[in-house]
Amino acid sequence: MGYVGLCTAAAFVSRSFRTVGIDIDQERTQQIRKGKAPFHEPQLDSMLEKAVKTKMLDATSDISAARETRITFVTVGTPSKSDGSIDLTFLKSAIIDLGRALYGKPGYHLVVVKSTVIPGTTNGIVKPILEHFTKTKVGPKLGLCANPEFLKEGTAINDALHPDKIVIGASDKKSADKITELYELFYRGDLPQVIITSPESAELVKYASNAFLATKISFINTVANIAQQIPGVDVGTIAEAIGLDPRIGGLFLKAGPGYGGSCFHKDLQALINYSRKKGYNPVLFRATEDTNEKQAIRVVNMAEKLLGSLSDKRVAVLGLAFKKDTDDVREAASLRVIGSLKKKGAQVVAYDPMAIPNAKKVFSEQIDYAENSHAALKGADCCIIMTEWDQFRKLKAKDFQAYMKTPNIVDARRIFDPDTFNDLNYVAIGVGHRNA
Ligand code: UGA
């Protein structure tokens, strides 16, 4: 019942499928039973409330509930080990428990791996464990598919209800037919393109998709860093123009402080590690990651350039979440920026509309937390915009002038029009300033 699991469950319920969410964390399942999401995601709370009221959704820590269903989606986390390789501990233990629960079940059961897993996992790891504990071979009575998920935090529900494709990696024809049947029922006349392939291909589609998106961001950040050296050039214009070429496409070309979130870094590291073990060194993806890591350092260097030195300077960081409309700070660029600011001796005061409780788990008392943007700006020597929250866009040049000690602004998300900040020391990623 993490991000993918709970959003998937809510989407199934909204299309009138009776669903049960299973998680070893009892506190989490109790919260879900009350119709409350354990994390912030637009639309999710209202959907859960309704789902629980109509008794279409239940949540439990008792895996035997899976036996009463016809299809089980496995959506456990697949974090990184310290060397970047994928950690399949949760997946293996979930499959062992599921296998035990399904042992001796009369009738057909389909198991669908939605977790992001490296190629070969569904067939090479999930299948033997499942077959061992169910004492049944994948075939007429037991189905197995890999069916990766492409939803994004912040728009997860909409993404689940309107995906641009469904990728099914089926172990056998019956599994492919059963899951296609399910999605035909789910999407009725609105079924997106379904790609049926091998489990290994489906698993690689997911990594290729995230690697491409991450590379697109590192690409535009590279162009931004060049544009920033040329007075009068703004990377936004470059992105707009190149994005009109359908071979390039205009989405995911927003330059900024580098990508964050629980997926891109983790998945790239897993893919690089996997590929190297297979004897191929994917230098492009290493450059994607390297560029991303260095982008945060560039943000700090921009602040340092404005202030001379960061030592004992008060720096207001507006935004901690890895993107707007989420309380998630996992791998957020703000964490890298704040870490570097602290190393350089700056005093950091941060504000985020939603992510402060999660940021406190990382930084505890090492930084100050403000109650709103104005409070964060008060007395600050520099302000760094780290998340593109709508409320930050409403700030005007006069707000920075009124509250800050000196109005030095580093706009790492490029949310302001540089022309309206002429009287301030304003620099933005990808904008070639007169004083560049
Ligand atoms: C990402 C993918 O977009 C989903 O398709 C995928 O299913 C998901 O990972 C996953 O593997 O679970 P997510 O991490 O929720 O989704 O967030 P994104 O919207 O992709 O943003 C990731 C990061 O890239 C954010 O920090 C965002 O600010 C940054 N970004 C995005 C940019 O810097 N520029 C852009 O143009 C777009």
Give the pLDDT confidence of 341-350 residue by residue, as tens digits. 999 999 999 9
Written in H, E and C, the secondary structure of 341-410 is HHHCCCEEEEECCCCHHHHHHHHHHHCEECCCHHHHHCCCCEEEECCCCHHHHCCCHHHHHHHCCCCEEE
- Nearest-atom index, ligand 1, CA of 333: 26
CA of 363 to the centre of ligand 1 (A): 23
Which residues, listed in sequence order, are joined to residue 351 by a DSSP beta bridge?
318
pLDDT in tens, 392-402: 999 999 999 99
Can you tell me the mean pLDDT for 213-238?
97
Known catalytic membership, residue 382: no
For residue 434, the model assigns a pLDDT of 59
Model confidence pLDDT, tens digit, residues 118-156? 999 999 999 999 999 999 999 999 999 999 999 999 999
Q: What is the mean pLDDT of residues 423-431?
A: 95
Which ligand 1 atom lies nearest to the CA of residue 252? 36
435 has pLDDT over 60: no
Report the C-alpha gap between 109 and 97 in whole angstroms.
15
Cβ neighbors of 280 (< 8 A, separation 6 or more) are none
pLDDT at 63 over 80: yes
Tens of pLDDT, residues 373-384: 999 999 999 999
Q: For a pocket test of ligand 1, which of 76, 153, 336, 414 has the largest count of ligand atoms closer than 8 A to its C-beta? A: 153
Q: Whose CA is nearest to atom 12 of ligand 1?
A: 263
Indicate which residue's Cα is closest to atom 29 of ligand 1. 259
Q: In a mutational test of the pocket of ligand 1, which residue from 165, 167, 217, 392 has the highest number of ligand atoms less than 8 Å from its CB?
A: 217
pLDDT of residue 330: 96
pTM of the model: 0.96
Can you say how many angstroms the Cα of residue 332 is from the centroid of all Cα atoms in its chain? 10
Question: Which atom number of ligand 1 is nearest to the Cα of residue 210?
Answer: 2
The percentage of the chain sitting over the pLDDT mark of 70, rounded to a whole number, equals 99
Whether pLDDT at 189 is above 90: no
Quick one: which atom of ligand 1 is closest to the CA of 214? 24
**What is the CB < 6 Å shell around ligand 1?**
116, 149-153, 210, 213, 217, 252-254, 256, 259-261, 263-264, 322-323
Q: 436 falls in which pLDDT band (50, 70, 90)?
A: very low
Q: Which of 195, 179, 168 is nearest to 12 (CA)?
A: 179
Residue nearest to atom 10 of ligand 1 (CA): 263
- What are the DSSP E strand ranges found in 193-287? 193-197
Determine the average pLDDT of the residues in 208-219: 98
Contact 302, 435 (CB under 8 A): no
Q: In the sheet where 408-411 sits, what is the strand order?
A: 368-369, 347-351, 314-318, 382-385, 408-411, 425-428
How many CB atoms are located within 10 Å of the residue 13 CB?
20
What is the distance in angstroms between the CA of the first residue and the CA of the last residue of the chain?
A: 48
* Nearest atom (ligand 1) to Cα of 251: 36
User: What is the CA(112)–ligand 1 centre distance, in A?
Assistant: 24
Q: Mean of the per-residue pLDDT values for the chain? A: 96
- Ligand 1 atom 13 nearest Cα: 152
Catalytic residue among 7, 145, 263, 382: 263
261 CA distance to ligand 1 middle (Å)? 7
CB-count exposure of residue 87 (10 Å: 0-12, 13-18, 19+):
middle
Rounded mean pLDDT of 34-47? 92
